[in-house]
Structure 1
Amino acid sequence: MDAHESLLELIGNTPLVRLRTPSDGRGAPVYAKLEYLSAGGSVKDRIGLRMIEEAERSGALRPGGTVVEATSGNTGAGLAMVAAAKGYRMIVVLPDKSSAEKVNTLRAYGAEVVVRPGGLPLEHPEHILNVAAGIAERTPGAWFAGQYGNPANPEAHYLTTGPEIWRQTGGRVTHLVSCVGTGGTISGTGRYLKEASGGRVRVIGADPAASVYSGGDGRPYFVEAAGRFRHPETVDDSWPDSYQREVVDEVLPIRDRDSLTTIRRLAREQGLLVGGSAGTALAAALRVAAGLGPEQLVVAILPDSGRQYLSKYFNDQWMLRQGFLDGDPAVARVGDLLPAARRAEPLPYLHHHAPVGEALAVLRERQGTGADPVVPAGPAPVGPGRQPTSMELAGAVSLAQLEAALAAGRAAVTDRVGDHLGEPLPVFGAGEGAAAALAELSGRGCGTAVVLADGHAVGLVGAGELAVLAGAEPKQGR
């Protein structure tokens, strides 16, 4: 019989597929390691199995026990699949930015899902790592997987992913490109390939441009399961023990737009439906390959399936609203109200700890700018000259609102502005049609909206401005 005794035997051993790349006689071939074809649908199946088996061997996890983990989704799914196959209870703590598909996948495996706010400092008691550790401590027979510091994480890739790539390429691989999340995939795989090749293989990390791994400021970004977010109020931002930095030769920053448009093209042009972090890895791999010769060989690890992101990255409406699509150039678009010079100016923005007196100064300065004197505010401060992301916009405050509160004695100039926020302003992507945006804004009874480009807030527009723009003749051929 050609059969397997257990689903666990189907973890790993994923295929390597050559991708079609622009061919002009230059550049190295690029091969994709399709981790979404593992049994549970992601590269994290490997560490799910390895971590649980090591916990069983050590006695940390016993029959009838409970597996607990904090994760953005894929590690939880890998652990939940293995836990289900082995008869363990599973509890997963997720940030609220995780896709609905990931949450539903975990529940389908029988896991108990606990959702907590994302974007919190590491020391916050509601940070997913702290919540998961607390659940494990309070639950009899529980074991906290702790992928960020678990040596079985990189070891799984040293023992499986690296040898597979070396065998599949016949030892011809010269460059490995992988995202850096916990660091386990790139560390374990890269270490094996360096050893097998006598140091010839170059290991390159692919990272969201805002992530701290590639030198970003750690602000929120839109690609799930990659990079490292750093909240500005985090005190100790120690990098994961599973990330062995000495293995990695270079880390390339990749913009969210490049990651997301790459996977959309890959699905439509080559039939490969993969997730956002795969787009980050592939965009970096294509950049690397373009500077090499045809005798070189680049392997990119594509971590998971695009089926987990159908409601986001492959949803035209979501992409357009976040400003990742440019929309129809034949009609007036919201972004037309923000010429390049205006987009380059930082959006007026307040940290929720800012005093009311500071907010009043900003708002009064904005009087007469064409939009209502309203500013968005959020949970994280924004550096000089930098627009916040849409994920940082937690509320809004108007001049009239604050002045009325002061006059009535409900507020003082020394109060935190966060204690006096109204609902967040509506947001529109720069590529959305002005007429449709005006209709939605009017229906919500709002006079001001935030304009997003590539997920970042680049300006404010008023209903009056949109009305003028929407009433213009449709533009042709822009």
Structure 2
Amino acid sequence: MNYAKNILETIGNTPLVQLNHIVKDLPCKVFAKVEYFNPGHSCKDRMALQMVEDAEADGRLKPGGTIIEGTSGNTGMGLALAAIVKGYKLICVITDKQSKEKMDILRAVGAKVVVCPTDVEPEDPRSYYSVSKRLAEETPNSWYVNQYDNPSNTKANYLQTGPEIWNQTDGKVTHFIVGVGTGGTISGIGKYLKEQNPDVKIWGVDTYGSVFKKYHETGIFDENEVYSYVTEGIGEDILPKNVDFSIIDHFTKVTDKDAAVYCRKLALEEGLFVGMSSGSAIKGLLQMKGELKPDDVVVVLFHDSGSRYIGKIFNDDWMRERGYLEDEVVTAADLIKNHIDKPLVTVRTEELVSHALERIRKYKISQIPVIDKDGFAGSVEDSDLFAAYMVDANIAEKPIREVMGKPYPVVNRKTKVAEVSKLITKENNAVLVDLENGKFHIITKYDIINSIK
């Protein structure tokens, strides 16, 4: 009989799949190393098991012990599989930017999940680095994994993934590209491939808000480059020991939006249902088009499964809220379609300024059209009312007609966005759109800015 003695024996030997559509503009063949075929659905299964077995071998992890690790989710899943089979407890410390699916999956496989804030410094006692270390110090018979600095992370990819890629390409691979987080994947695979052929190029994909690219190019750790980003699993605000910068030939950065958009493209164009970091990886490769030749053989590693991002990347509302969904915005009606159901807030010429102020506060708006019996007669804005108040503290009891400005321009619903944009100036902050049947809506600077892709 041909069978695995436990789930851990199914780790590795993931397929190499040729990409056809999304890379059609590249001059060479491109293959994806699809790591969601691992039992925990990510490349992290490899290093998680290696780290556990090495810790068992040298006594750091003892029978009945508790494994503790800070993780973006995938390493936690790999550790959970090892813990289940080998009889350990597991505590996963995770940041609040990680998808709900990742947290639910970790709990489903028996891990205790501790959630920490994302937007804090690594040294902050609330950070997931600090909390992981503290829990390891406080928990009897525990082992802190520390995947960032644990050499077994790189070792697993040197012993497994690197040889697999070399053998699957029959030694013809010329370029390897992957998103960089802890560094174990790119460093282990890159070391092995360069030992087989020193001419193989190793390219790392970084994200905006991470320090890797600039540090690689200049040797400067620039804290100004550190800020919050959405992409999970790649980029860092620290320099993990597993990132061997001497092995990496080049870094390219990919935006959160491009990572999300290209993640969805991989599903639609290649049938590969992968996570956001894979979107970063393929977009990073496309950005390097000018460096590729017809005879090159490129391997790009796809880290994990899209099943962990259903509520985020594959949710239209989540994508639209962040401006990632590439809805075509052509006309004035397109600019307001996300809030067209809201009524147009107006004020009459004979109402008091206090009434306008009340509506500005209630509806959290800045511009209000003024109407009279004949239609639109003027406009009032929060900034103008503030300026008027500085001159006359009793302004609130005056009628609107005494402080109102010019009426906003009116366009029809089919007016092109470019024409609407020309009407937004320093002197005019809004445009009214005629939706027909006596209904109007307001277009503001925010709507124009929100349409920029």
TM-score bracket, normalised by the shorter chain, equals 0.7 to 0.9
Distance 1:60 1:24, change over 3 A: closer
**Counterpart amino acid of residue 467 in structure 1:** I
Contact 1:208 1:255 in 2 (8 A): yes
Q: Specify which of 220, 231, 235 is matched with residue 227 of structure 1.
A: 235
User: What residue is the counterpart of 2:120 in the other structure?
Assistant: 120
User: How far did residue 187 of structure 1 move?
Assistant: 0.4
1:331/1:433 CA distance change after superposition, 3 Å: farther
Native 8 Å contact 2:210 2:227 kept in 1: yes
Specify which of 364, 386, 389 is matched with residue 446 of structure 1. 364
Structure 1 vs Structure 2: percent identity of aligned residues? 41
Identify if the C-alpha distance between structure 1 residues 76 and 121 changes in structure 2 by more than 3 Å, giving closer, same or farther.
Answer: same
8 Å Cα contact 1:258-1:283 kept in structure 2: yes
Q: Is the contact between residue 274 and residue 307 of structure 1 (CA under 8 Å) also seen in structure 2?
A: yes
- Asked if structure 2 preserves the Cα contact closer than 8 Å seen for 1:321 and 1:432, the reply is no
Q: Distance in 1 between matches of 2:25 and 2:104?
A: 45
Paired positions, count: 352
Instruction: Judge conservation of contact 1:27–1:291 (CA < 8 Å) in 2.
Output: no
1:90 aligns with 2:8: no
1:117–1:127: 8 Å Cα contact kept in structure 2?
yes
CA offset digits 1:445-468 (Å, max 9, x no partner): 43369xxxxxxxxxxxxxxx9735
Task: Tell me which amino acid in the other structure corresponds to 2:85.
Answer: A
Aligned residue identity for 2:12: G
The answer on whether the counterparts of 1:331 and 1:433 sit within 8 Å (CA) in structure 2 is no
- For 2:274, the equivalent position in structure 1 comes to 274
Cα deviation code 1:303-355 (max 9, x no counterpart): 0011100111111110000111243525547968xxxxxxxxxxxxxxxxxxx
Q: Which has the larger radius of gyration?
A: 2
Equivalent residue, structure 2, for 1:329: 329
Deviations 1:234-290 (A, max 9, x none): xxxxx1111111110100111222211111111012111000101111112233355
Map residues 2-13 of structure 1 onto 2, 5 A cutoff. 2-13=2-13
Q: How far apart, in 2, do the equivalents of 1:39 and 1:16 lie?
A: 16
Contact kept in structure 1, 2:26 and 2:292, CA below 8 Å: yes
Relative to structure 1, the CA distance from residue 467 to residue 108 in structure 2 (aligned partners, 3 Å threshold; closer, same or farther) is same
Once the two structures are TM-superposed, the CA of residue 11 in structure 1 deviates from its matched residue by 0.8
1:116/1:24 Cα in 2 relative to 1: closer, same or farther (>3 Å)? closer
Query: Is the Cα–Cα contact under 8 Å of residues 22 and 270 in structure 2 kept in the other structure?
Result: no
Q: Match of 1:48?
A: 48
Structure 1 residue 442: Cα displacement: 9.9
Contact 1:206 1:280 in 2 (8 A): yes
Given that 1:289 and 1:298 are in contact with CA atoms closer than 8 Å, whether structure 2 keeps it comes out as: no
- Kept in 1, the 8 Å contact 2:44–2:75? The answer is yes
Structure 1 residue identity aligned to 2:181: G
* Partner AA of 2:48 in structure 1: G
Offset at residue 24 of structure 1 (A): 7.2
Instruction: Give the TM-score normalised by structure 1.
Output: 0.69
Matched residue, 1:421:
none
* Aligned residue identity for 2:364: C
Structure 1 residue 39, shift from structure 2 partner:
0.9
Matched ranges for 1:20-39 at <5 A: 20-21=20-21, 27-39=27-39
**Matches for 1:235-314 after TM superposition, within 5 Å:** 239-289=239-289, 291-314=291-314
Structure 2 match to 1:137:
137
1:432 shift after superposition: 3.8
Tell me how far 1:72 sits from its aligned partner: 1.1
SS in 2 for 1:203: strand
Letter in 1 for 2:140: P
Q: Measure the CA separation in 2 of the matches of 1:64 and 1:437.
A: 62
Does the alignment pair 1:213 with 2:212? yes
1:467 aligns with 2:442: yes
Cα distance change of structure 1 residues 67 and 334 upon mapping to structure 2, 3 Å threshold:
farther
**Post-superposition shift, 1:132?**
0.9
How far, CA to CA, are the matches of 2:107 and 2:63 in structure 1? 21
The answer to whether the 8 Å contact 1:63/1:88 transfers is yes
CA–CA distance in 2 between the matches of 1:443 and 1:10? 60
Contact 1:96 1:118 in 2 (8 A): yes
Is the 8 Å Cα contact of residues 21 and 30 (structure 1) preserved in structure 2? Answer: no
Query: Partners in 1 of 2:344 and 2:210 — Cα distance?
Result: 35
The structure-2 alpha-carbon separation of the partners of 1:23 and 1:12, relative to structure 1 and needing over 3 Å to count, comes to closer
RMSD: 2.8
Aligned to 2:110: 110
- CA positional deviation for 1:92: 0.5
Amino acid at match of 1:280: S
Spell out the pairing of 1:59-208 with structure 2 (5 A cutoff): 59-197=59-197, 199-208=198-207
Name the CA shift for 1:134/1:168 in 2 (closer, same or farther; >3 Å).
same
Distance (Å, rounded) in 2 between the aligned partners of 1:437 and 1:66 = 57
Change (3 A) 1:286 1:436: farther
User: Which region of structure 1 is more displaced relative to structure 2, 261-270 or 88-97?
Assistant: 261-270
Return the letter of the residue paired with 2:365. G
Residues 366-399 of structure 1, C-alpha deviations (whole Å, 9 max, x = no match): xxxxxxxxxxxxxxxxxxxxxxxxxxxxxxxxxx
- Output the CA distance in 1 between the equivalents of 2:61 and 2:158: 23
Gaps of 5+ in 2: 215-223, 346-358, 368-439, 448-453
Aligned-pair distance for 1:222?
Answer: 1.2
8 Å CA contact 1:224–1:276 kept in 2: the answer is yes
Change (3 A) 1:140 1:320: same
Measure, in 2, the Cα distance between the counterparts of 1:261 and 1:34.
Answer: 19
Structure 1: how far apart are the matches of 2:159 and 2:141? 29
1:290–1:273 CA distance, 2 compared to 1 (3 A): farther
